[in-house]
Structure formats: C-alpha cells, structure tokens
Amino acid sequence: MEKGKQDLRTVDQLPVELGLGTEFVFHPIFACPVSRDQATPDNPPMLLPCNHVLCQQSVLKIAKSRTRVFKCPYCPVEAQADNLRPLTFPDII
C-alpha cells in the first residue's frame, strides 16, 4: 500500500466527516423506564453511577430520602440521591 494511504477496511473511523442533514436529527425526549413519565425541567433525568438513567421523582421514591443509599432497579449498583448528576440534552434547531 502506498505511503500516506489508509486501508478503509481496517480503520475504526472514516477519515472524512459526513453531514447527515436534518433527516437524521431527532428531538431528544427521555421517558423514565420506572415511572414511564416524560422528563421535564422539574423532573429531569438523573444519571446513576452505573450509567442507568431515571427521572428524579423515581429516584426520590426509590431512595425515600436524599441521603439514603438505594440499589439501581436494573443492576446491583448502589447509589445515593445526593450524588447523582442531572442529564441535559442539547437543543436541536
């Protein structure tokens, strides 16, 4: 193979950026897998240490208090409501 050229069958990422256009732009809506409620600014999605995501109200119901340790409903990882991070989705225009 010539110097400076890549074999496209062996690279993980193409050497060019492809614009997908508006056809492949989707509005980010999060529905809590526990309560089935749609996330809102008052009830934002919260990232657990195990990388599962639940709405804040579901977390508070499971935890029963912000300082109590609770188990993720989908895996054995334990978390504390005070240590979770809210997720935000970028505005797509």
Q: What is the 3-state secondary structure (H, E, C) of 4-47?
A: CCCCCCCCCCCCCCCCCCHHHCCCCCCECCCCCCECECCECEEE
Instruction: Tell me what the mean pLDDT of segment 31-46 comes to.
Output: 93
Which residue's structure tokens are 């919260």? 46
Rounded to two decimals, what is the model's pTM? 0.66
For residue 39, the model assigns a pLDDT of: 92
User: For residues 5 and 10, what is the distance between their CA atoms, to the nearest angstrom?
Assistant: 12
The domain spans of the chain are 29-86
Q: What is the secondary structure of 54-87 as a DSSP string? A: EEHHHHHHHHSSTTSEEE-SSSS-EEEGGG-EE-
With a cut of 50, say whether residue 93 has pLDDT above it: no
For residue 35, the model assigns a pLDDT of: 95
> In the CATH scheme, what is the code of domain 29-86?
3.30.40.10
For residue 82, the model assigns a pLDDT of: 87
Instruction: Tell me what the mean pLDDT of segment 48-75 comes to.
Output: 92
With a cut of 80, say whether residue 4 has pLDDT above it: no
With a cut of 50, say whether residue 5 has pLDDT above it: yes
Instruction: Tell me what the mean pLDDT of segment 31-58 comes to.
Output: 94
Q: Which two tokens stand for residue 80?
A: 């504390």
